[in-house]
Chain A
Amino acid sequence: MTNALEIEGLTKTYGDGFQALKGIDLHVAEGDFFALLGPNGAGKSTTLGIVCSLVNKTAGKVRVFGYDTDTHLSDAKLNLGVVPQEFNFNQFEKVFDIVTTQAGYYGIPLKQASASAEKYLKKLGLWDKRNTPARMLSGGMKRRLMIARALVHEPKLLILDEPTAGVDIELRRSMWTFLEEMNRQGTTIILTTHYLEEAEALCRNIAIIDHGKILKHTSKKALLQQLSLETFVLDTEKTLDSAPELNGFPTRLDAEGALEVEVEKGQGLNQVFVELERLGIKVVSMRTKANRLEELFLRLVEENAESSKAVEGAA
């Protein structure tokens, strides 16, 4: 199967000497739903910026559906739709004009562009706002406008840089549903996000980047299997004043007073309840803590920071 995106030895050094990317390799299969994760300044936006031609690379290769961006840039761009992190449309133009103008840049005649704009504005709940100047839209609507604009030429690869930043939970969920539908219909999706819950819910494959290097590049399943520790959140019948001591299980109370219990792989949950029974604590409900990926992410980033410090120290 063709890779939707192939990156080889990509480096980027900015004018001030800052090396944002230190020779990264990445591949995203066609049809994948892929997350590129990393803390602020890790190199996520620089990587995507290079793929989208918004940032000049220093060295390396980028191929979009096999089209080398050095030799077949136009073909590569035709397959690519981009939703940037910050609003980057003319605030004074009307919603419909913004989307059809973008289609025009891809050489799509106005009649066809209008039909496509209507399709995506309707799908994203913006059709009623088509004659509204973009500056009058809410933050969530502006994000959806950028998605409609990115899809108007029907790209095979959609890149979203922090698509749900600053969006309320309801809208975030509806955007997830929309993106999942796009992916089911065959669009390859790459996203960067700070909401690791988002990556965990949507993506099949994940790369973690930090300090311009890829720390992990694997499937979400394989990544989560590396997580030997799982945290369960227990709501108790009576509010606890302090976290009880359970033999072999670290515990703590969360901000709402619920009991969090860490269980290592192979330990089994029965023993937790035996311990709670012994202490006379009754549990009324239980759930796993959502951000398993977050725990793993933080661990990897911390390990990388420590190893970087060690290298610096040795030097």
Chain B
Amino acid sequence: MTPHALFTAFSTIVVREIRRFTRIWAQTLLPPAVTMTLYFIIFGNLIGSRIGEMGGFDYMSFIVPGLIMMAVITSSYANVVSSFFSMKFQRSIEELLVSPVPNWVILSGYVTGGMARGLGIGLIVTLLSLAFTRLSIHNLPMMVLTVFLTSALFAVGGFINAMLATKFDDISIVPTFVLTPLTYLGGVFYSIDLLPGFWQGVSMINPILYMVNGFRYGILGVSDVNPFVSLGMILVFISVLSVIALRMLERGKGIRH
């Protein structure tokens, strides 16, 4: 295929993905907006006013970057895992398999589709947060780079989950039992300075901690970890998971007999 044909194939996948999640907006776009608004009201306003400052900022300002990141992570992951698994389940994945689209274009298309939803949700949550607090941006490139790369990383993760899944239960196990605990324990609601030494050490092996703090650094200028280390880690994870996803596609894991 020519570069132009490859781009057409790529944009076809992306457009189809965007069409899918906007068609079912009540399932994809609305719930995180409602959930995050509740977080802002309950944790930020009601409880946060009694907590006082964290990391030198009022509690609402402190948790906003973490909540935006949480929404981006879960939405990027959920979009790819549910879309790709549904295609497997309905066998419409065969439309792609019989076509000449290379595997790397398939992966990039799905990841971009997942990022479109993840970042779209991130934008919605950011706009909602403006009703509760003022956002100032400390380091725009760091903020943008962190959120884009994090979204890409979890979209690739969702893709691998969908490749491995054989039933609908399999696509909810990782988000429920891995992503949610890691996100909640990843410094969204607190600074790890509050933890005893041992648990600070344990927190440092949670990759989501680096993403949340990298993003928080971009917005507030404070972070529990070096933001450049965060970026480096995200890039390494993206590279490793992408290679795994491409190998799985090449072998036809779960999609070819």
Contacts and interface: CB of A to CB of B under 8 A. Distances in A.
A127 interface: no
Contacts of B19: 97
Interface residues of B, number: 32
B134 interface: no
Contacts of B16: 97, 101
B95 A101 contact: yes
A88 B99 contact: no
Interface stretch (A50-58, A173-181, A240-248): A50-58
A78 B5 CA distance: 12
Given A54-B257, A56-B256, A101-B16, A106 B100 contact: yes
Contact of A109 (B8, B95, B100): B8
A80 interface: yes
Interface string B87-110: 100111011111111100000000
Contacts of B15: 104
Which of A75, A91, A102, A105 is packed against the most chain B CB atoms within 10 Å? A105
Given A91-B90, A104-B8, A55 B100 contact: no
Interface in B193-221: none
Given A55-B257, A56-B257, A104-B12, A89 B99 contact: no
A92 interface: yes
B36 to A, nearest CB: 27
A166 B1 CA distance: 37
B83 to A, nearest CB: 10
B34 interface: no
B253 to A, nearest CB: 11
A149 B16 CA distance: 16
B257 A89 contact: no
A144 B94 CA distance: 17
Contacts of A101: 12, 16, 95
Contacts of A84: 91, 94
A204 B95 CA distance: 29
A306 interface: no
A239 interface: no
Contacts of B9: 104-107
B94 A88 contact: yes
B27 interface: no
Nearest to B251: A56
Contacts of A49: 257
Interface in A78-94: 78, 80, 82, 84, 86-92
Contact of A108 (B8, B102, B252, B257): B8
A49 B94 CA distance: 10
A14 interface: yes
Given A49-B257, A56-B252, A104-B12, A89 B95 contact: yes
Interface of B: 1-2, 4-6, 8-9, 11-13, 15-16, 19, 23, 86-87, 90-92, 94-102, 251-252, 256-257
19 contacts: A54-B94, A54-B257, A56-B251, A56-B252, A56-B257, A74-B100, A77-B98, A80-B98, A87-B91, A88-B95, A90-B90, A90-B92, A102-B95, A105-B99, A105-B101, A106-B9, A107-B1, A107-B6, A107-B100
Given A105-B101, A149-B95, 18 more contacts: A52-B98, A53-B97, A53-B256, A54-B97, A55-B257, A56-B251, A73-B100, A77-B100, A84-B91, A84-B94, A86-B91, A87-B91, A89-B95, A90-B87, A101-B12, A101-B95, A105-B9, A105-B95
Interface of A: 14, 49, 52-56, 73-75, 77-78, 80, 82, 84, 86-92, 97, 101-102, 104-109, 149
Closest 8 CB pairs of A and B: A107-B5, A104-B12, A105-B99, A88-B91, A74-B100, A77-B100, A90-B92, A88-B94
